[in-house]
Amino acid sequence: MAKTVTEKILAAHLVEGQMIKGREIGIRIDQTLTQDATGTMAYLEFEAIGIPRVQTELSVSYVDHNLVQSDFKNADDHRFLQSIARKYGLYFSPPGNGISHQIHLERFGLSGKTLLGSDSHTPTGGGLGMLAIGAGGLDVAMAMAGKPFYLIMPKIFGVKLTGELSPWVSARDVILELLRRLSVKGGVGYIMEYFGPGIKELSVTDRATITNFGAELGATTSVFPSDENTQQFLVSQGRENGWLELQADAGAEYDEVIEIDMSTLEPLIACPSSPDNVVTVQEVAGRPVAQVLVGSCANSSLRDLMVVAKVLVGKEVDPNVSFEVNPGSRQVLENLTAQGDMLSLIRAGARVHQAGCLGCIGMGQAPATDTISLRTFPRNFPGRSGTQNDQVYLCSPEVAVASAITGRITDPRNLGEFPSYSLPEKYMTGDQRIEAPRPAGEEIEISRGPNIAPFPDFEPLPETWQGRVLLKVEDNITTDHIMPAGAKILPLRSNIPAISEYVFASIDGDFVKRAHSEANGMIVGGDNYGQGSSREHAALAPRYLGVRIKLVKSFARIHKANLINFGIVPLAFADPADYDKIQQDEEVEIPGIRKALEQGAETLAIRVGPREIQARIDISARHREILLAGSLLNWAKGA
């Protein structure tokens, strides 16, 4: 039977279940990655499992989020992560070395391998022909312990690419076009697989931009074939021995197919405040901008920064614009400098920062009040920038640099001829600061700062649940809404009692006070609840506050998995119209909830005052066991 690239990788890694759409399967994970904002908790969880050393082929701990050391917290976490890596056999990439996804693409990713990362943009690795999936930190900890990663066998959405990109149009415009057509919910339940004659026109870093930004479709992941372009990239990185040709078979079938003729695309831009609010640049051209940021895991490769530098030769940034560049890795910095392109950035007035995530997760670089910020980032959720009522637009490096020069949103085609550039045949690797795993058995003491709190214990699910609706929210609530990021809150990621004080802070400043006053709480929400980041704190912190039930119209994949991992029961309205029949502060009872889960019930009756609402329980048998135990850790220890 003809197979897609996705089916080939899944089949080669299948350890539990059958590859039947909609059924749960377990796959072997070859590689893992963490970043520091999620990694500290992931390693506390790994320690709780009690495994003496990671069991994967390769695991890497990156520090790329919490880089601002305004006090001791971040620096302490960095030392903790380094000591954990030394003790348990991981590679360690220190602060300033670069963004996890960019470095992993350069130095570790391999075609045909599975990669699980505690960051929602882990699908970046799909640009190399990997099956790279974002997950919560606890799932990554279990994978490092040698356990399978479980997921519902997804459908496969084929994206056929034809044609060739025009000058000033880039890979970013391909994925923006897909978001314009499908929306942030269009990929839910799917793996996006790219095929067609157009893929040969895209380099690995072009493809990585597309698979990275594909996370905003809500897809499980995105993947490209591994072909001659993949081989060429690995040769340039000195890793040609890791190349594996991987193509879909002739006649392979997809559950859905959409076609994009790249030759018809023009520069696109996502307007505030959602990645799918996409229009052509011409439609919003002329709006004044105060800040332009180039970087993030989506667009910080050497190719992207080199194009920006070439455009800026002999030009200056508009005096009213703060133009800032966040390189993706030390490798990018080294090669950009060696080729002389760094000088063009500096002379033009760019502010070149250390290699890392920075403003993408609200760690500095907040825009001024009532001004437009253009960013080559993957997300523009409200307030994510660190400024309330922000006006963040998402665009390609080409649009970004053109707008920085003119001081207004600008179609880069107005600049004239596209500059020529060439990438090196052999890159300076830039990996000299990455620590290799220490030998097994070496005596290593874990460094723990005072902000690192013990992992909380959670009790099993009760026979009957009673509580109150602590909050009712609308559609498309993101994990940023649930557990905000930013320079103030991110340093608390290793301290659940402290960070829990900020749950839903951007929506309702009284939420935490109400949660403290109630023994048990429920959250009611709309469609696509929990979209965005993989941050498990958006499940873990509410659980710490006593939230045991979330009743919504539909869930985003990673957040639903995280809820289950920490013992929060994810329920969906059997009839979405019942959303209007339940209000904040109402008392709720779910009689016999434990028995219902034990017996495999697919629906539950929820008593809301004198009324009754039906809810669906769309979870696997293993998920039920985890919820009954109170958390994945409880379940794993008892298994």
The residues carrying an active-site annotation are 64-65, 119, 379, 533, 535
Indicate the pLDDT class of residue 362, thresholds 50, 70 and 90. confident
Task: Give me the percent of the chain exceeding a pLDDT of 70.
Answer: 100
Write down the pLDDT at residue 347: 97
Same domain, 161 and 292: no
Q: What is the CATH number of the domain that holds 472?
A: 3.20.19.10
Same domain, 244 and 336: no
User: Per-residue DSSP letters for 407-460?
Assistant: SB---GGGG-SPPP----SS-----TTPBPPPPTT---PPP--TT-PPPPP-PP
Same domain, 525 and 625: yes
Mean pLDDT of the chain: 95
Task: Give me the percent of the chain exceeding a pLDDT of 90.
Answer: 90
This model's pTM is above 0.95: no
Same domain, 331 and 235: no
Q: Is residue 249 predicted with pLDDT exceeding 60?
A: yes
In degrees, rounded to 5, the angle at the alpha carbon of residue 570 between the alpha carbons of residues 212 and 17 is: 70
Residue ranges of E strands in 179-255:
190-195, 221-223
Same domain, 257 and 362: no
Q: What count of residues does the chain have? A: 639
Same domain, 282 and 258: no
Q: Is residue 218 predicted with pLDDT exceeding 80?
A: yes
Please tell me the distance from the alpha carbon of residue 32 to that of residue 59, in angstroms, as a whole number: 5
Same domain, 308 and 294: yes
Q: Is residue 432 predicted with pLDDT exceeding 70?
A: yes
Domain boundaries, position 109: 5-264
Same domain, 300 and 215: no
Beta bridge partners of 552: 572
Q: Is 433 within the bounds of a domain?
A: no
Same domain, 334 and 205: no
Write down the pLDDT at residue 639: 54
Please list, residue by residue across 82-108, b when 16 or more beta carbons sit within 10 angstroms of its beta carbon and e when fewer do: bbbbbbbbbbbbbbebbbbbbbbbbbb
Please tell me the distance from the alpha carbon of residue 295 to that of residue 170, in angstroms, as a whole number: 15
Q: What is the CATH number of the domain that holds 117?
A: 3.30.499.10
- Count other C-beta atoms under 10 Å from residue 422's C-beta: 7
Token reading at 564: 């289950």
Q: Is 495 within the bounds of a domain?
A: yes
Q: Stretch 534-546: mean pLDDT, rounded? A: 92
Q: Is 448 within the bounds of a domain?
A: no
Same domain, 305 and 337: yes
Q: Is 460 within the bounds of a domain?
A: no
Same domain, 110 and 240: yes
Q: Is residue 16 predicted with pLDDT exceeding 60?
A: yes
Q: Is residue 638 predicted with pLDDT exceeding 80?
A: no
Q: Is 50 within the bounds of a domain?
A: yes
Write down the pLDDT at residue 369: 96
Q: Is 421 within the bounds of a domain?
A: no
Q: Is 617 within the bounds of a domain?
A: yes
Question: Among 415, 439, 454, where does a domain finish?
Answer: 415
Question: Among 415, 431, 453, where does a domain finish?
Answer: 415
Write down the pLDDT at residue 284: 98
Please tell me the distance from the alpha carbon of residue 448 to that of residue 459, in angstroms, as a whole number: 26
Count how many Cα atoms sit within 13 Å of the Cα of residue 11 in the half-sphere of its side chain: 9
Same domain, 481 and 516: yes
Token reading at 396: 């390609």
Write down the pLDDT at residue 616: 96
pLDDT in tens, 590-610: 999 999 999 999 999 999 988
pLDDT in tens, 121-170: 999 999 999 999 999 999 999 999 999 999 999 999 999 999 999 999 99
Question: Among 264, 291, 309, where does a domain finish?
Answer: 264
Q: Is residue 182 predicted with pLDDT exceeding 80?
A: yes
pLDDT in tens, 100-124: 999 999 999 999 999 999 999 999 9
Q: Is residue 558 predicted with pLDDT exceeding 60?
A: yes
Domain count, the chain: 3
Q: Is 362 within the bounds of a domain?
A: yes
Q: Stretch 260-289: mean pLDDT, rounded? A: 97
Least confident of 61-65, 382-386, 566-570: 382-386
Write down the pLDDT at residue 493: 85
